[in-house]
Structure 1
Amino acid sequence: MDLDIFVSAHSGEWERLETLLRRGRRLTGEEADELVRLYQRTTTHLSLLQSGAPDPALVGRLTHLVARARSVVAGTRTAGWRDAARFFTAGFPAAVYRSRRWWIPTALLSIAVAALVGWWIAAHPEVRAAIAAPAELREMTRPGGQYETYYSSHPAASFAAQVWTNNAQAAAVCLVLGVFLGVPVLWVLLLNMLNLGVGIGLMASAGRLDVFLGLVIPHGLLELTAVFVAAGTGLRLGWTVVDPGPRTRRAALAEEGRSALGMAVGLAAVLFVSGLIEGFVTPSGLPTWARISIGVLAELLFLAYVWTAGGRAAARGETGDVEAADRGDQLPGVA
């Protein structure tokens, strides 16, 4: 691209756009149409400059001009309660629902891995001996041992906050770093399933698997579901790098990335609920059946929320992406 020729050919349009933006009065209908047309053309010019002849000064000027024009054409809007309500009633559940073909298989395979690790540890004394000394294993698995006192070793409120922070960070890693072909996601899943499998295997070998499950299930159902949703979404984002489908790779990654980052907010709320259960219900004096019932109820409510609100929103075309007015402009194909 010859930059001088390009500037000479289009500088008149840019100056005219600046003139229209400086008008203090209302534009006439003809002027408004002209402003929209010049805004679209200048957006295309900016794209061509960025890809073909990146002159910092000119790119900066046109970037500022396009931003000013967009605020006039699209209007300005501040986020409010309406946006939050739309997100939790449509955007978030639709995003979870749309990614179900990723996170449900992820959940099933992960649980199978944890169960296999648990069986391997429970059935092989030499594996348990490699984990810790016999005295340490007895201390961990005995009545009143480390596995039982873990959930009541700290004040409930601070423990719930700590659990929520740790789980939210793990979910965020899956969502954000999934773009690296899903490799960090698989690592996070492996660590979580190994940790669960070790607990299952050690407590099963001590004949106390029922106690362990009674401690894990109340909060673990919702907590692991949130982690699996994050992992499945991260893997989907990683696969988008390989196969963006009919969209351009850039457009596909932008759409799926915005949806994944939005899902991080929704999953933080889900993990907050599971953290409250883990901090206040799991270590409580309630009977095991009551604690498990609370966990099962929380899990069923979440799944019903995803399949009803999310399914309906997805059928309407909701993807979990931000509203069209808040997305980047779709550039015209010709200058």
Structure 2
Amino acid sequence: MIDVKVDGRLKSQRFRQEREADWRRLERLIDKVEKGAMSSLSDEEILAAPVLYRSTLSSLSVARATSLDRGMIDYLETLSARAYFFVYGSRETLRGQLGGFFAQKWPAAVRGLWRETLVSVALLVIGALVAGWLVGQEADWYYAFMPKEMAGGRDPAATTEMLRSTLTGAKNSDGLSAFATFLFTHNAQVALLAFALGFALAVPSAALVLYTGATLGAFLALFISRGLGVEAGGWLAIHGVTELFAVSLAGAAGLRIGWAVAFPGEKSRLDSAAAAGQHAATVMGGVVVMLFFAGLLEGFGRQLIVATPARYAVAAASALIWGLYFYGPRRRAKT
């Protein structure tokens, strides 16, 4: 028994001596990276890392197969796990990943949906025009398009003075935070549904965008009938530019998925839907951010900025910023 133990120790020592230099070298490289000194690595060290990693895995396999020292096996397992994230893990920090998303990936994904975005905007406008015309012909149509909880008392039964008072903003900011949260949640639900239901051949997505346009058209038609069209337009535009563009992009994402499912082309239907879903999901990641800003503008901006010209100025600035951000010229990412 003693001879077996001595022989096992000798094997472990000999095994370690033959390979320990490579293990220590890999460990030093990992230590540098984990301390944030990735840029200090030479080209030779970077090229050597995968080779050292594979050598360490081989050593671990041999150590396990021959039942060598347990402490050595634990050391090699830990070293291999650390080396895996060094060799195959992301070299980019969270800050860098977010920067790349907002600087390149999201705008590029939105530009890639320009056809679907045009269709989505067209559906929004058609819904607004049809609903506005119907409400102009018969005021009771208003109740078919505008949910009661969103109307907030702004309906054909309200007096003109009451309608005008709802456009002047709050005298104080009490409750505006809760209001912004409610509106953000509602708009996010509409956008996410328009995206998610794209798999049903995009029909529900198109219907949701049409319905969103219809609520807009019905609302404006009511205020126009009372001579308050300009004021209502400013009240809506301060947040509507961002909010409605976000909903249009969500609808475009749903249309892209629905089109891929209906017409997969040379790919299988599943592969086509997966590729479209990945593209659309990138767009939706940014849409959530747009809806957050729209919620802030809706809950705070339009309540605190009460002058109609100022509201239109904020809306124009928002349109310019989003237009340049998504469709303006930009430098290509370095490869």
TM-score (norm 2): 0.65
| Alpha-carbon distance between aligned partners in 2 of 1:227 and 1:118, rounded to the nearest angstrom | 19
Identify unmatched segments of 5+ residues in structure 2. Answer: 1-21, 27-48, 58-80, 147-152
Query: Which of 137, 161, 173 is 1:143 aligned to?
Result: 161
Match of 1:14 in 2: none
**Alpha carbons 1:176, 1:234 under 8 Å: kept:** yes
Identify which of 190, 193, 197 aligns with 2:217. Answer: 197
Q: CA RMSD in A?
A: 3.7
Offset at 1:83? 1.0
Q: Name the CA distance, whole Å, in 1 between partners of 2:117 and 2:110.
A: 9
Tell me, what secondary structure is at the counterpart of 2:328? helix
Preserved contact between residue 164 and residue 271 of structure 1 (Cα < 8 Å): yes
Matched with 1:63 is none
CA drift of 1:247 comes to 3.7
- Structure 1 residue 93: Cα displacement: 0.7
How much has 1:122 moved relative to structure 2?
1.3
Aligned to 2:132: 118
Superposition pairs of residues 137-286 of structure 1, within 5 angstroms: 137-140=155-158, 142-145=160-163, 148=166, 152=170, 155-286=175-306
Corresponding residue number in structure 2 for 1:45: none
Alignment correspondent of 2:96 = 82
Displacement of 1:295: 1.4
1:81 deviates by: 1.3
* Structure 2 letter corresponding to 1:145: L
- Deviating more after overlay: 256-265 vs 268-277: 256-265
2:117 match = 103
Q: Are 1:178 and 1:235, in contact at CA under 8 Å, matched by a contact in 2?
A: yes
% identical aligned pairs: 26
CA distance 1:191–1:130, shift in 2 (3 Å)? closer
User: Counterparts of 2:227 and 2:319 in 1: how far apart (Å)?
Assistant: 27
2:296 partner amino acid: L
In structure 2, how many angstroms separate the alpha carbons of the residues matched to 1:139 and 1:203? 12
Distance in structure 2 (CA, Å) of the matches to 1:245 and 1:317: 32
1:217, 1:295 within 8 Å by CA — same for their partners in 2? yes
Counterpart contact for 1:171–1:227, Cα < 8 Å: yes
Cα distance, 1:157 vs. partner?
2.0
Conservation of the 8 A alpha-carbon contact between 2:179 and 2:299: yes
2:238 and 2:301 in contact (8 A); partners too: yes
Shift in alpha-carbon separation, 1:251–1:198, aligned structure 2, 3 A: same
Alpha-carbon separation, structure 1, partners of 2:138 and 2:201: 35
1:108-166 deviations in whole A, cap 9, x for unaligned? 2321320221122113356469899xx98455352233982696496222222222222
Residue type at the aligned position of 1:143: E
| Match runs of 1:287-298 below 5 Å | 287-298=307-318
Letter in 1 for 2:225: S
CA distance in structure 1 between the partners assigned to 2:318 and 2:230 by the alignment: 21
Contact 1:118 1:200 in 2 (8 A): yes
- Structure 1: unaligned runs, 5 residues or longer: 1-23, 36-67, 319-335
Larger CA deviation: 86-95 vs 253-262:
253-262
Cα distance between partner residues in 1 of 2:161 and 2:217: 20
CA contact (8 A) 2:156 2:222 kept: no
Paired with 1:131 and 1:305, the residues of 2 have a C-alpha distance of 33
In 2, Cα distance between equivalents of 1:28 and 1:298 = 48
The 1:150/1:160 distance shift into structure 2, 3 A limit, reads: farther
Superposition deviation, residue 317 in structure 1 = 11
Seen in structure 2, the aligned counterparts of structure 1 residues 183 and 79 have a Cα distance that, compared at 3 Å, is farther
TM-score, with normalisation over the residues of structure 1?
Answer: 0.65
Q: Which amino acid is 2:163 matched to?
A: G
**Where does residue 58 of structure 1 map in the other structure?**
none
1:205, 1:169 → 2: CA distance?
A: 30
Residues 163, 275 of structure 1: 8 Å contact kept: yes
- The whole-number CA distance in structure 2 between the counterparts of 1:136 and 1:267 is 28
Give the superposition deviation at 1:308: 2.8
